[in-house]
């Protein structure tokens, strides 16, 4: 029943910003659905193949901001072949044809061609913000098109993309009239940039708050840029190599001291560790520090730097910090909420690395810790239990023991109890990644306790189908399940196929599911796309149902089979 | 001598018995662990009786350590518990990362041998496996006594197949405990024990990150092919010294620092020289005297660059020097004729 005029409801809906809430609002009744869809400006699509651009445009004519994700998560680790899919071009083409006034496009794990970037740049007059994360398929020519044509561009944020760098003058393509930049991040580009153009661009961008440079930007340019933009809030340093006795260094010190607003620091793609003292003056204000691309910074120099960062909330670091270094973090960073420790030498001898000790120290010293990504040499149940007690607020807990089936080295037991403690203690846990030696038991715990779990990543674990069944039965809010190298077969896969419709996607690779099993799912659930990826020559076109499937990726969709799948992907 | 010169302080060693860990285990968690969730009974009902494919939970026979002639198979273990009986055996020349219940036998005929004498790395791998079994057996009241059989779906499935067989055989990362579950193809048996097996997509790091870090490591250790990222070790020799040293050029950012470090390193040699050259027999040599010795009077610092030429240290900017220097040599100035006088002035200036 609706006693308010539409405008009032619309105004009320303006305050509802979360996607989930807006989705709920639209389900209340037809009239709310209608009001909601006309007033909706931001849409998030977690799987670009779950819906078509045409339907999106039809439902939300007022769309301004679109977020799209393409490839499955395991594509990050080379488990998905390159041309599997996730092309953004059809979306841009459809949006360009429509009357949608797109202003913001955020893409993750999609294939973006120069052609699409060019079309994007020319089709939307008010286009303001382009964020590309882990995408590929474009070159600096595409960036040049964006720079040249998007007159009101505010944000160009490239995070960890594979860009073919033509060393072109894309930076020079920003016209002189472009003064609206707020955020520019090109740290992932590997080639040279036109330094003069960069300086001029920064000098005419008074609103610039976020600037992340690539390796090709040397220190003296950095110094000039800082002098031009002391209002920066987020800085990514490219190259930080110089002689501490040089004039350039002195100038840099002065420039940095002027930047009182910097709260976020990253980069150091090349670093001379002896020159970190220039950074100290801004460390006290930092809330985010990302040194995960700076292997040159370690030992005492690193610790000294961290000791200055008392307000840190998020820290991304390499494991050469060591357990001792993490102890320093625990003592210094009492506000820490997120910690990511990446391996500096993942396939190496494991000399510079962290163990369970470091994690325990941080958990004891940083009670606000709620998000963790931790690559380590080893882990013990005792440590995990302690961490669970110290930090019951984990939302994200991703542990990667470099040896994927390593047991607790002290007791030689699987890590079931440790992870069990985590899920039991952290009632708000939404994302979990497991590693180490694990049996079905841990999945029993997960099914029992991880009520809020949305995403679960499993590798080299479990003994039988029961593991997977515990999870599918227990985790009611599960959205994404990705499994590799586990002994889950058809019995687990077929137990409750209806469940997959409540989830965004399921990935299973190197498991025990057979072609017949997958066919069965596809038959029973027409609302799912069941994709089989076969790269091995052995599988050929053998339609034997008993054949084990190499990679299975199934996802719910409203638009049936996709048309752009390559040959080796079978959609059942 | 001075530890910094040996490079990166290694902090990540696993010290299982270090104090901070002790305070964890002192909570008596060893026992509580099992009763942690009060589920011991529940678990034993539910899980430990789960028959696996072979109808038994513990295969004690599989835990026996056996030695045999290299290349001979251990017949009893081989087929009994082979989880995977698909025709994919041929692919498994790379043996599974997972210690299989059936020892490591699910791999192909030619490769896996369980309980037999073989290369160092393989032996270690097996012993680890079996220890694990025994570890299990040794915990009597454990509910989760399920054989940690990880299916035996061989991880080999995860290996890159396109490259053909017998290829991706770098071995798996070994932990500082030395626990390695690794396997080499027969042809690689002679490889060093520390070689690692690489599984596709493990560890789960974004390829962008791996590439970027590899690039920066390459830039760093191009010169000397050294272990960790961010280090640049070069050999330093000194005329008359009985042995050479190594320094990490990345620890310094100026010639001054490098020079002082080298002085400290080699002072033990010059002490002798001092006495011999008639410096009034003082036992304690002041640092300045040492400096004079190294800088002005006796020695010059030279380096061999990428082209193999011997150059005087100090001419080029530091960064360029780091990139081209292959090794260092502290030469007697007598030998550095033609360069020495100017060099001495210059280095005196740097002092």
* Span A113-139, pLDDT tens digits: 999 999 999 999 999 999 999 999 999
A-chain residue closest to B202, CA distance: A77
Residues 6 or more apart in contact with residue B271 via CB below 8 angstroms: B285
- Alpha-carbon distance A251 to B140, whole Å? 68
Calculate mean pLDDT across residues B154-179: 38
Burial grade of B316 (CB within 10 A; 0-12, 13-18, 19 or more): middle
Out of A82-91, A341-350, B141-150, B218-227, least confident range? B141-150
pLDDT at A544: 81
pLDDT at A271: 86
Q: Is B92 on the interface with A (CB under 8 A)?
A: no
Facing residue for A405 by CB, picked from B21, B98, B217: B98
Calculate mean pLDDT across residues B73-93: 42
Contact (Cβ atoms closer than 8 angstroms) between residue A213 and residue A188: no
- Alpha-carbon distance A362 to A13, whole Å? 41
Counting residues of chain B whose pLDDT is more than 70, the rounded percentage is: 26
Q: Do B254 and A323 lie within an 8 Å CB cutoff? A: no
Nearest to B331 by CA among B244, B241, B239: B239
Q: Which residues of A touch B162 (CB under 8 A)?
A: 535-537
For all residues of chain A together, what is the average pLDDT? 92
Q: Which residues of B touch A77 (CB under 8 A)?
A: 200-202, 204-207
| Residue A536 confidence (pLDDT) above 80 | no
Q: Which of B5, B146, B173, B210 to mutate to test the interface with A (most CBs of A within 10 A)?
A: B173
CB pairs under 8 A between A and B: 310
pLDDT at A489: 93
Element (H, E) at A392: none
pLDDT at A495: 93
Taking each continuous run of H as one helix and of E as one strand, the counts in chain B are 10, 5
pLDDT at B158: 38
More confident residue, B100 or A68: A68
pLDDT at B200: 82
Contact (Cβ atoms closer than 8 angstroms) between residue B328 and residue B236: yes
Helix, coil or strand: residue A462: coil
Q: Which residues of B touch A362 (CB under 8 A)?
A: none
Calculate mean pLDDT across residues A275-301: 90
Q: Is B33 on the interface with A (CB under 8 A)?
A: yes
- The C-alpha of A243 sits at a distance from chain B's nearest C-alpha, in angstroms, of 6
Counting residues of chain A whose pLDDT is more than 90, the rounded percentage is: 77
Q: Write the CA distances from A49 to A45, A52, A339, A569, B223, integer angstroms.
A: 9, 7, 32, 14, 48
Q: Report pLDDT digits (tens) over A422-458.
A: 999 999 999 999 999 999 999 999 999 999 999 999 9
More confident residue, B59 or A381: A381
| Residue A204 confidence (pLDDT) above 50 | yes
Which DSSP category does A118 fall into?
A: H
Facing residue for B16 by CB, picked from A360, A410, A512: A410
pLDDT category at B69 given cuts 50, 70, 90 is: low
For all residues of chain B together, what is the average pLDDT? 54
A-chain residue closest to B130, CA distance: A412
Out of A385-399, B22-36, B61-75, B289-303, least confident range? B22-36
- Alpha-carbon distance A363 to A370, whole Å? 10
Q: Which residues of A touch B33 (CB under 8 A)?
A: 381-382, 385, 411, 413, 417
Q: Do A243 and B317 lie within an 8 Å CB cutoff? A: yes
Q: Do B228 and A345 lie within an 8 Å CB cutoff? A: yes
| Residue A20 confidence (pLDDT) above 60 | yes
In this structure, the number of other CB atoms found within 10 A of the CB of residue B150 comes to: 28
Element (H, E) at B198: none
Calculate mean pLDDT across residues B81-98: 40
pLDDT category at A417 given cuts 50, 70, 90 is: very high
Q: Report pLDDT digits (tens) over A382-405.
A: 999 999 999 999 999 999 998 888
| Residue B13 confidence (pLDDT) above 90 | no
Q: Which residues of A touch B136 (CB under 8 A)?
A: 412-413
The C-alpha angle with vertex A369 and arms to A359 and A16, in degrees rounded to 5, equals 150
Facing residue for B98 by CB, picked from A348, A350, A460: A460
- Alpha-carbon distance B118 to B185, whole Å? 11
Element (H, E) at A280: helix A280-283
Which DSSP category does A188 fall into?
A: T
The structure tokens 């399920």 sit at B146
Helix, coil or strand: residue B337: coil
A53: tokens are 């651009």
* Per-window interface: B 168-207 vs A, CB < 8 A: 170, 172-177, 179, 181, 194, 196, 198-207
pLDDT category at A537 given cuts 50, 70, 90 is: low
Q: Which residues of A touch B157 (CB under 8 A)?
A: 485, 510, 550
Residues 6 or more apart in contact with residue A23 via CB below 8 angstroms: none
pLDDT category at B197 given cuts 50, 70, 90 is: low
More confident residue, B131 or B248: B248
pLDDT at B304: 87
ipTM for the predicted complex comes to: 0.89
| Residue B5 confidence (pLDDT) above 50 | no
Element (H, E) at B124: helix B120-137
The structure tokens 């997958």 sit at A518
- The C-alpha of B330 sits at a distance from chain A's nearest C-alpha, in angstroms, of 24
Q: Which of B203, B248, B249, B319 to mutate to test the interface with A (most CBs of A within 10 A)?
A: B203
More confident residue, A83 or B129: A83
Facing residue for B176 by CB, picked from A295, A377, A405: A377
pLDDT at A516: 92
- The C-alpha of B120 sits at a distance from chain A's nearest C-alpha, in angstroms, of 16
Contact (Cβ atoms closer than 8 angstroms) between residue A71 and residue A85: yes
Instruction: Region of B166 please: left (phi>0), alpha (psi -120 to 50) or beta.
Output: left
pLDDT category at B299 given cuts 50, 70, 90 is: confident
Which DSSP category does B295 fall into?
A: I
Out of A76-80, A104-108, A348-352, least confident range? A348-352
- The C-alpha of B181 sits at a distance from chain A's nearest C-alpha, in angstroms, of 8
* Per-window interface: B 96-155 vs A, CB < 8 A: 97-99, 131-132, 135-136, 139, 142-144, 146-153, 155
* Per-window interface: A 459-488 vs B, CB < 8 A: 459-464, 466, 484-487
Q: Is B213 on the interface with A (CB under 8 A)?
A: yes
- Alpha-carbon distance A96 to A425, whole Å? 49
pLDDT at B326: 85
pLDDT category at B38 given cuts 50, 70, 90 is: very low
Helix, coil or strand: residue B142: coil
Q: Which residues of A touch B161 (CB under 8 A)?
A: 535-538
Counting residues of chain A whose pLDDT is more than 70, the rounded percentage is: 97
- Alpha-carbon distance B208 to B242, whole Å? 46
- Alpha-carbon distance A413 to A418, whole Å? 10
Out of A50-54, B139-143, B314-318, least confident range? B139-143
Q: Which residues of A touch B202 (CB under 8 A)?
A: 77, 404, 459
Calculate mean pLDDT across residues B180-197: 40
Helix, coil or strand: residue A277: helix
| Residue A541 confidence (pLDDT) above 60 | no
- Alpha-carbon distance A106 to A389, whole Å? 37
| Residue B122 confidence (pLDDT) above 50 | no
């Amino acid at each position: 029943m609706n006693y308010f005029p539409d405008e009032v409801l619309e105004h009320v809906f303006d305050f509802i910003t979360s996607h989930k809430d807006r989705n709920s609002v639209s389900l209340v009744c037809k009239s709310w659905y209608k009001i909601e869809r006309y007033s909706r400006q931001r849409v998030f699509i977690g799987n670009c193949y779950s819906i078509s651009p045409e339907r999106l445009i039809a439902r939300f004519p007022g769309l301004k901001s679109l977020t799209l994700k393409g490839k499955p998560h395991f594509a990050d680790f080379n488990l998905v072949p390159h041309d599997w899919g996730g092309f953004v071009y059809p979306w841009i083409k459809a949006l360009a044809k429509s009357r949608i006034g797109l202003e913001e496009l955020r893409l993750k794990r999609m294939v973006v061609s120069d052609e699409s970037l060019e079309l994007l740049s020319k089709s939307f007059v008010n286009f303001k913000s382009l964020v590309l994360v882990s995408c590929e398929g474009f070159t600096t020519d595409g960036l040049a098109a964006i720079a040249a044509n998007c007159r009101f561009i505010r944000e160009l944020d490239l995070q960890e993309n594979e860009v073919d760098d033509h060393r072109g003058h894309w930076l020079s393509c920003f016209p002189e009239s472009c003064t609206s930049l707020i955020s520019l991040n090109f740290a992932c580009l590997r080639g040279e940039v036109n330094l003069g153009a960069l300086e001029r661009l920064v000098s005419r961008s008074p609103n610039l708050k976020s600037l992340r440079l690539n390796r090709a930007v040397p220190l003296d340019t950095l110094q000039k840029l800082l002098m031009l933009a002391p209002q920066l809030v987020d800085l990514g340093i490219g190259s930080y190599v110089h002689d501490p006795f040089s004039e350039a260094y002195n100038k840099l010190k002065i420039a940095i001291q002027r930047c009182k607003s910097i709260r976020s620091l990253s980069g150091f793609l090349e670093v001379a560790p002896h020159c970190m003292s220039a950074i100290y003056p801004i460390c006290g204000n930092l809330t985010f520090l990302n040194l995960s691309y700076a292997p040159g910074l370690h030992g005492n120099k690193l610790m000294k730097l961290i000791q200055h960062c008392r307000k840190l909330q998020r820290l991304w670091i390499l494991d050469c910090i060591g357990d001792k270094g993490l102890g320093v973090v625990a003592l210094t960073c009492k506000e820490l909420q997120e910690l990511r420790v990446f391996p500096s030498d993942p396939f190496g001898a494991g000399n510079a690395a962290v163990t369970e000790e470091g994690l325990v120290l941080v958990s004891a010293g940083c009670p606000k810790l709620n998000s963790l990504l931790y690559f380590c040499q080893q882990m013990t149940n005792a440590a995990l239990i302690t961490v669970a007690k110290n930090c019951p607020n984990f939302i994200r807990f991703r542990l990667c023991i470099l040896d994927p089936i390593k047991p607790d080295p002290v007791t030689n037991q699987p890590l079931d109890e440790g992870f069990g403690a985590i899920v039991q203690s952290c009632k708000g846990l939404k994302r979990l990644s497991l590693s180490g030696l694990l049996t079905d038991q841990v999945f029993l715990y997960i099914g029992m306790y991880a009520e809020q779990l949305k995403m679960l990543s499993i590798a080299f674990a479990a003994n039988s189908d029961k593991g997977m069944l515990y999870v599918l039965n227990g985790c009611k809010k599960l959205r994404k399940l990705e499994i590799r190298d586990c002994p889950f077969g058809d019995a687990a896969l077929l137990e409750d196929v209806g469940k997959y419709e409540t989830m965004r996607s399921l990935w299973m690779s190197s498991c025990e599911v057979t072609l017949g099993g997958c066919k069965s799912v596809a038959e029973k659930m027409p609302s799912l796309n069941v994709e089989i990826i076969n790269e091995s020559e052995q599988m050929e076109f053998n339609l034997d149902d008993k054949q084990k499937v190499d990679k299975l990726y199934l996802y719910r969709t409203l638009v049936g089979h996709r048309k752009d799948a390559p040959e080796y992907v079978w959609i059942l | 001598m001075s530890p910094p010169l040996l490079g990166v302080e290694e902090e990540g060693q696993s010290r299982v018995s270090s104090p901070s860990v002790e305070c964890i285990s002192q909570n008596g968690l060893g026992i509580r662990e099992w009763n942690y969730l009060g589920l011991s009974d529940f678990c034993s009902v539910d899980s430990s009786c789960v028959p696996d494919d072979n109808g038994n939970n513990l295969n004690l026979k599989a835990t026996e350590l056996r030695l045999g002639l290299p290349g001979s198979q251990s017949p009893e273990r081989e087929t009994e518990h082979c989880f995977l009986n698909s025709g994919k055996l041929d692919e498994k020349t790379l043996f599974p990362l997972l210690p299989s219940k059936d020892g490591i036998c699910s791999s192909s005929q030619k490769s896996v041998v369980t309980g037999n004498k073989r290369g160092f790395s393989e032996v270690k791998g097996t012993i680890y496996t079996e220890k694990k079994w025994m570890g299990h057996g040794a915990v009597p009241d454990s509910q989760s006594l399920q054989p940690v059989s990880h299916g035996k779906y061989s991880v080999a499935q995860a290996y890159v197949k396109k490259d053909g067989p017998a290829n991706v055989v770098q071995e798996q990362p070994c932990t500082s405990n030395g626990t390695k579950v690794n396997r080499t193809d027969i042809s690689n048996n002679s490889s060093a024990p520390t070689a690692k097996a690489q599984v596709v997509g493990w560890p789960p790091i974004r390829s962008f990150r791996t590439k970027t870090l590899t690039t920066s490591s390459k830039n760093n250790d191009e010169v000397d092919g050294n272990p960790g990222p961010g280090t640049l070790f070069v050999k330093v020799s000194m005329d008359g010294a009985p042995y050479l040293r190594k320094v990490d050029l990345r620890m310094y950012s100026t010639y001054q620092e490098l020079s002082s470090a080298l002085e400290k390193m080699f002072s033990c040699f010059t002490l002798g020289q001092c006495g011999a050259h008639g410096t009034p027999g003082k036992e304690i040599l002041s640092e300045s005297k040492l400096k004079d010795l190294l800088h002005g009077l006796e020695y010059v610092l030279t380096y061999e660059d990428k082209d193999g030429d011997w150059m005087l240290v100090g001419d080029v900017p530091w960064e360029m020097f780091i990139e081209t220097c292959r090794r260092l040599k502290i030469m007697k100035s007598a030998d550095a004729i033609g360069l020495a006088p100017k060099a001495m002035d210059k280095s005196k200036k740097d002092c």
